[in-house]
Chain A
Amino acid sequence: MINYKEIGLKCGLELHQMLDTSTKLFCKCPPEIRHEDPEFTFKRRLRPTRSEIGEIDPAALFEFKKGRTYLYEGYEDNVCLVEMDEEPPHDLNREALQIALEISLLLNAKPVDEIHVMRKIVIDGSNTTGFQRTALISINGCIEVNGKKVPIQTICLEEDAARKIGEKEGGRVVVYRLDRLGIPLIEIATAPVINTPDEAYEVARYIGRLLRITGKVKRGLGTIRQDLNISIKGGARVEIKGVQKLELLPKIVEYEALRQLRLLELKKELEKRGVKEDDISYSFIDVTDIFANSKSKIVSRALKSEGIGLAVKVPGFAGLIGCELQPGRRFGTELADYVRFWSGLRGIFHSDELPAYGISEEEVEKVRRRLNMNERDAFILAFGPAEDCRNALKAVVDRIKVALRGVPEETRGANDDGTTKFLRPMPGRARMYPETDIRPIRIDDKLLETLRAKLPETPEKKLKRFVEEYGLSRELAEKILDSKFLQVFEALVREVKVPPVLIASTLTNTLVELRREGLDTESLSQSKLWELFRAVEAGTLSKEAVPEVLREMLKQPEESVTDIIERIGLKSLSEDEARRIVNEVINSSSEKLLSMNEKKAINFIMGRAMSKLRGRIDGRKVYKIVSEEVSKFFKEHGKS
Chain B
Amino acid sequence: MSERSGYSPAVLKLLEKYKADLFQEVNIKLVDHREINGIILPRPFYGDPDVLVLKLPNGYNIGIEYKKIKYIAVISPAKRKPLVELALPHLREDLPLVYMLSTGGTIASRIDYSTGAVYPFFTAEEIYRMVPELLDLAYIKAETVYSIFSEDMTPKRWDELAKRIYEIYRKEAPAGIIVAHGTDTMGYTAAAIAFAVRNLPGPVIFVGSQRSSDRPSSDTALNVICAVKTAIEAPFGESVVVMHGCTSDDYCLAHRGVKVRKMHTSRRDAFRSVNDIPLALIRPQQRIKLLTSRYLKRSEEEPQLLGGFEEKVALIKFYPGMHPEILEFLHEEGYKGIVIEATGLGHVSEKLVEPIRKMVKDGIPIVITSQCMWGRVNLNVYRRGVELIKAGALPGEDMLPETAFVKLSWVLKRADDIESAYKMMLTNYVYEINPRSEERFYPPVWR
Q: Which A residues form the contact surface with B (CB < 8 A)? A: 42-55, 69, 81, 84-88, 110, 112-116, 118-121, 123, 128-131, 134-136, 139-140, 154, 156, 429-434, 436, 439-440, 442
Which residue of chain B has its CB nearest to the CB of A433?
B113
Chain A residues with Cβ under 8 A from B114's Cβ? 52
Q: Judge whether A116 and B53 touch: CB under 8 Å.
A: yes
Q: For B63, give its contact among A55, A81, A131, A440 (CB under 8 Å).
A: A440
Q: For B46, give its contact among A47, A140, A439 (CB under 8 Å).
A: A439
Q: Judge whether A431 and B59 touch: CB under 8 Å.
A: yes
**Selected A-B contacts with CB under 8 Å, 26 pairs:** A42-B246, A42-B248, A43-B248, A53-B84, A54-B84, A55-B84, A69-B249, A84-B247, A86-B247, A87-B265, A110-B34, A113-B51, A116-B61, A130-B217, A131-B215, A131-B216, A134-B60, A136-B56, A136-B58, A139-B62, A154-B60, A429-B59, A430-B59, A440-B44, A440-B47, A442-B48
Q: Judge whether B85 and A54 touch: CB under 8 Å.
A: yes
Task: Known A44-B248, A81-B267; judge A432-B47 contact (CB<8 A).
Answer: no
Q: Judge whether B216 and A118 touch: CB under 8 Å.
A: no
Q: Judge whether B63 and A52 touch: CB under 8 Å.
A: no
Min CB distance A12 to B, Å, is 13
Chain B residues with Cβ under 8 A from A45's Cβ? 221-222, 249
* 0/1 string, B47-79, CB within 8 A of A gives 1: 110010100101111111100100000000000
Q: Judge whether A54 and B83 touch: CB under 8 Å.
A: yes
Task: Known A44-B249, A116-B63; judge A86-B53 contact (CB<8 A).
Answer: no
Q: Judge whether A442 and B247 touch: CB under 8 Å.
A: no
Q: For A130, give its contact among B48, B86, B215 (CB under 8 Å).
A: B215
Q: Determine whether B376 belongs to the interface, using a CB cutoff of 8 Å to chain A.
A: no
Min CB distance B304 to A, Å, is 40
Chain B residues with Cβ under 8 A from A439's Cβ? 46-47
Min CB distance B233 to A, Å, is 22
Min CB distance B397 to A, Å, is 33
Q: Which B residues form the contact surface with A (CB < 8 A)? A: 32, 34, 36, 44, 46-48, 51, 53, 56, 58-65, 68, 81, 83-86, 111, 113-116, 118, 129, 211, 214-218, 221-222, 246-250, 265-268
Chain A residues with Cβ under 8 A from B249's Cβ? 43-45, 69
Min CB distance A140 to B, Å, is 6
Task: Known A42-B247, A129-B217, A131-B216; judge A52-B51 contact (CB<8 A).
Answer: no
Chain A residues with Cβ under 8 A from B216's Cβ? 46-49, 121, 123, 129-131
Q: Judge whether B36 and A115 touch: CB under 8 Å.
A: no
Task: Known A49-B214, A81-B267; judge A116-B62 contact (CB<8 A).
Answer: yes
Which residue of chain B has its CB nearest to the CB of A88?
B266
Report the bound CA distance from A112 to B83 in whole Å: 30
Min CB distance A44 to B, Å, is 5
Q: For A430, give its contact among B36, B47, B58 (CB under 8 Å).
A: B58
Q: Judge whether A118 and B61 touch: CB under 8 Å.
A: yes
Min CB distance B186 to A, Å, is 18
Chain A residues with Cβ under 8 A from B59's Cβ? 118, 120, 429-432
**Most A CB within 10 A of own CB, among B60, B81, B86:** B60
Which residue of chain A has its CB nearest to the CB of B84?
A54
Task: Known A433-B116, A442-B47, A442-B48; judge A115-B215 contact (CB<8 A).
Answer: no
Q: For B215, give its contact among A51, A55, A129, A140 (CB under 8 Å).
A: A129
Q: For B51, give its contact among A44, A114, A121, A433 (CB under 8 Å).
A: A114
Q: Judge whether A113 and B64 touch: CB under 8 Å.
A: yes
**Most A CB within 10 A of own CB, among B58, B83, B265:** B58
Report the bound CA distance from A44 to B111 in whole Å: 22
Mostly helix, strand, loop or mixed at chain A's interface?
A: loop
Chain A residues with Cβ under 8 A from B217's Cβ? 44, 46, 85, 128-130
Q: Judge whether B116 and A86 touch: CB under 8 Å.
A: no
Task: Known A47-B218, A47-B221, A112-B64; judge A440-B46 contact (CB<8 A).
Answer: yes
Which residue of chain B has its CB nearest to the CB of A41?
B248
Report the bound CA distance from A130 to B86 in whole Å: 23
Q: Judge whether B113 and A115 touch: CB under 8 Å.
A: no
Q: Judge whether B63 and A112 touch: CB under 8 Å.
A: yes
Compute the total of residue contacts between A and B using a CB distance below 8 Å: 134
Min CB distance B79 to A, Å, is 11
Chain B residues with Cβ under 8 A from A139's Cβ? 36, 62
Min CB distance B325 to A, Å, is 38
Which residue of chain A has its CB nearest to the CB of B81?
A53
Chain B residues with Cβ under 8 A from A51's Cβ? 113
Chain A residues with Cβ under 8 A from B115's Cβ? 434
**Most A CB within 10 A of own CB, among B63, B86, B246, B250:** B63
Min CB distance A317 to B, Å, is 37
Report the bound CA distance from A69 to B249 in whole Å: 9
Chain B residues with Cβ under 8 A from A54's Cβ? 83-86
Report the bound CA distance from A55 to B250 in whole Å: 27
Min CB distance A506 to B, Å, is 46
Chain A residues with Cβ under 8 A from B266's Cβ? 81, 86-88
Ranked 10 nearest A-B pairs via Cβ? A114-B63, A130-B216, A54-B84, A434-B116, A52-B113, A432-B59, A136-B60, A116-B61, A112-B62, A440-B47
Chain B residues with Cβ under 8 A from A140's Cβ? 34
Report the bound CA distance from A48 to B217 in whole Å: 9
Q: Judge whether A114 and B48 touch: CB under 8 Å.
A: yes
Chain B residues with Cβ under 8 A from A436's Cβ? 44, 111, 116, 118
Chain A residues with Cβ under 8 A from B44's Cβ? 434, 436, 440
Min CB distance A37 to B, Å, is 19
Report the bound CA distance from A123 to B214 in whole Å: 13
Min CB distance B86 to A, Å, is 6
Chain B residues with Cβ under 8 A from A86's Cβ? 247, 266-268
Which residue of chain A has its CB nearest to the CB of B83?
A54
Min CB distance A639 to B, Å, is 83
Chain B residues with Cβ under 8 A from A128's Cβ? 217
Which residue of chain A has its CB nearest to the CB of B216?
A130
Min CB distance B52 to A, Å, is 9
Q: Judge whether A52 and B61 touch: CB under 8 Å.
A: no
Q: Judge whether A434 and B47 touch: CB under 8 Å.
A: no
Report the bound CA distance from A275 to B400 in whole Å: 76
Chain B residues with Cβ under 8 A from A110's Cβ? 32, 34
Task: Known A53-B81, A86-B247; judge A116-B111 contact (CB<8 A).
Answer: no
Task: Known A42-B246, A43-B250, A115-B63; judge A50-B58 contact (CB<8 A).
Answer: no
Chain B residues with Cβ under 8 A from A88's Cβ? 266
Report the bound CA distance from A114 to B54 in whole Å: 10
Min CB distance A237 to B, Å, is 14
Q: Judge whether B267 and A52 touch: CB under 8 Å.
A: no
Chain A residues with Cβ under 8 A from B211's Cβ? 85
Task: Known A433-B113, A436-B111, A436-B116; judge A114-B218 contact (CB<8 A).
Answer: no
Q: Judge whether A114 and B247 touch: CB under 8 Å.
A: no
Chain B residues with Cβ under 8 A from A85's Cβ? 211, 217
Chain B residues with Cβ under 8 A from A429's Cβ? 59
Chain B residues with Cβ under 8 A from A115's Cβ? 62-63
Which residue of chain B has its CB nearest to the CB of A443?
B63
Which residue of chain A has its CB nearest to the CB of B32?
A110
**Most A CB within 10 A of own CB, among B51, B62, B68, B118:** B62
Chain B residues with Cβ under 8 A from A81's Cβ? 266-267
Q: For A113, give its contact among B68, B246, B250 (CB under 8 Å).
A: B68
Report the bound CA distance from A50 to B84 in whole Å: 10
Chain A residues with Cβ under 8 A from B111's Cβ? 433, 436
Chain A residues with Cβ under 8 A from B267's Cβ? 81, 86-87
Chain B residues with Cβ under 8 A from A156's Cβ? 60
Which residue of chain A has its CB nearest to the CB of B250?
A43
Report the bound CA distance from A86 to B270 in whole Å: 10
Report the bound CA distance from A433 to B115 in whole Å: 8
Which residue of chain A has its CB nearest to the CB of B60?
A136
Taking A110-B32, A433-B113 as given, write out 11 further A-B residue pairs in contact, using a Cβ cutoff of 8 Å, ordered by the A residue number: A45-B222, A46-B217, A52-B113, A85-B211, A85-B217, A112-B64, A119-B215, A123-B216, A131-B216, A434-B115, A436-B116
